[in-house]
Structure 1
């Protein structure tokens, strides 16, 4: 039984889970002792360090279990952006070549794209940016054509944060490995939302983000397959297998571990199917109420079960949300929520500017109920119908 969330009671309807998730009260409860009673440094050899050390190891095991990895393959970081930087920059610098080539795709998160831009600028790395089709998907044949003898790394996200489009990661990994390169996957938006297993995906590096799966902000992790070598981002005392120096934030690591364990349990109980049914209900209600005016942006499948990106003909997305303060949602990437220019993701998919500006991203989560879906659909349809 999922406990009620006090922050969501008597508040606007929350349909922005892709931006961030509320911290699960069970996660907060798990981390609390490590903010007070068990304050020791996990590297200390005395009694005060023993429990934090055990807690850190337990959290690493819990995160690993969520994706089918080994505990020693999990590196805790301070954010998903840091994990992406460690994976991409770390792989390129560890290759020790003046001719490194990286392949990514145009709708990646800025943490990936800007890292690639920095490698081009600072290290002369050649980067290929693959296009996407009208559903936002990479063509595996385009990846095959782009690979060269100098390709060190391919970085393609698991799921797009705006449309929920799921990339064919396993196929891309097979192609990448056949050419002797590594594959990194930013799975920030997918981990804990859908089942993911690194053995099925075949990835070498995978980014996990706490605040996307009911843990606090400021904690993330990078899965690093055994025998993959990375150059560290932060040098110092050798923590996190030598890849991320600095005394570990035990409380936040415990939080991520607890969130991972809850995600394992919820996925096993079909929680992603429940959310998918609610998402489909919301889409159906809006489509029925606004006949002919609702356009789905991105694929119907494969798509995250919690994500609905639509354009309602005749209304700008930000104007529509401003007219419905009872709903907290987004018009695109949360990183650009104050920018009312067309979404780069939707533009890359070939959508014209009017449709892109009309876009709404409605993302559901653990505390979304059928009643909330019905209320949100009614509010949005009423506001859109007044155009």
Structure 2
């Protein structure tokens, strides 16, 4: 009997495994008695852990600790940014995360080019006359394609027109060096579970002088910007993961060579393969690819049976799978229904590339064999 092959996890953009350091920090915080808002010794000990975590998360973004507002997740942080800043006009890129689109469904949308890069000239035109009433939200790195947006240029344009700028940096954190001041943004969103921290905690970083109205009211926590007893274990795990992520990023992070080798191997067997965002700067860990005649759902299920976890380039809504809004905005056409996302992370190994290429190549051969001819 052949030994079972170890499963291969290539869906780190969805969530990455909890780092041991983060798990230890969560456990230690769970054994800490005290509410961070209490003034007695127990409360002060809890407060100290909370503020140490705040400093670590701030350092990850190159921002002051005083601007960190802990939230329940990245989605909450995005919503707090767009609704809490009290700007009546919201402008977003066509490839923003659903949590941004959902927070402002009537937002004005800036188009992107075929590689998923925001149209800066279009943005500038949109802000004429409404800049001082607007908040602009453009992510740093796309969760589906890994495409890196020119956020510093977006911020320069927005500030010139008097607009506030929010940046969803959830996917970029731990994968790109972050410096909130250099980017020129007023607000930035982070999420713990994307960098090896626990699920259920995020953060909105707010530039000094920017006023944020809380969505949750009833207490003075988080500088009166987010009421409710803080999630101390989550914050502690977030802080620990931030420290490790910064260290590993400084050491080189996930090698782009894995992504490039995977894409080259697949192109070698599938001439019509499309790599979304290939012509733009991308995260080293992310590849969004599609081949004609290979539906996303088929690929995800077949690869799962082969012990390999990836995501579809399409989102599920009410049990119905539709083409990715992001890939459609990039002119993906029918290939938007054939896209899958491969994303590496801190537990990935070089052998994962070979395992994926072998499984995908075998799947392609089976599909083409059933069709009786090359898929056009």
TM-score relative to the length of structure 1: 0.89
Give 1:127-206 correspondences, 5 Å limit: 127-150=107-130, 151-206=133-188
Distance 1:334 1:369 in 2: 27
Distance 1:31 1:53 in 2: 15
Structure 1 stretches lacking a partner, 5+ long: 1-8, 121-126
Q: CA deviation at 1:338?
A: 5.4
Distance 2:290 2:137 in 1: 29
Q: CA deviation at 1:10?
A: 6.5
Q: Counterpart of 2:22?
A: 27
Distance 2:314 2:210 in 1: 32
Q: CA deviation at 1:247?
A: 0.9
Q: CA deviation at 1:152?
A: 2.2
The CA RMSD over aligned residues, in Å, is: 1.7
Q: CA deviation at 1:48?
A: 1.2
Structure 1 range deviating more: 315-324 or 204-213? 315-324
Q: CA deviation at 1:323?
A: 2.0
Q: CA deviation at 1:11?
A: 4.8
Q: Counterpart of 1:18?
A: 13
Q: Counterpart of 1:123?
A: none
Across the two proteins, how many residue pairs are aligned to each other?
360
1:296 aligns with 2:266: no
Equivalent of 1:318, from 297, 301, 325? 297
Deviations 1:45-78 (A, max 9, x none): 1121122111111001101111111110111000
Distance 1:253 1:25 in 2: 15
Distance 2:193 2:52 in 1: 19
Q: Counterpart of 1:217?
A: 199
Q: Counterpart of 2:97?
A: 109
1:79 aligns with 2:73: yes
Deviations 1:227-280 (A, max 9, x none): 0011111112210010001111111001111111111101111114x2x12111
CA contact (8 A) 1:185 1:205 kept: yes
CA contact (8 A) 2:316 2:322 kept: no
Distance 1:53 1:68 in 2: 22
Distance 2:38 2:314 in 1: 42
Q: Secondary structure at the match of 1:222?
A: strand
Q: Counterpart of 2:371?
A: none
Q: CA deviation at 1:313?
A: 2.4
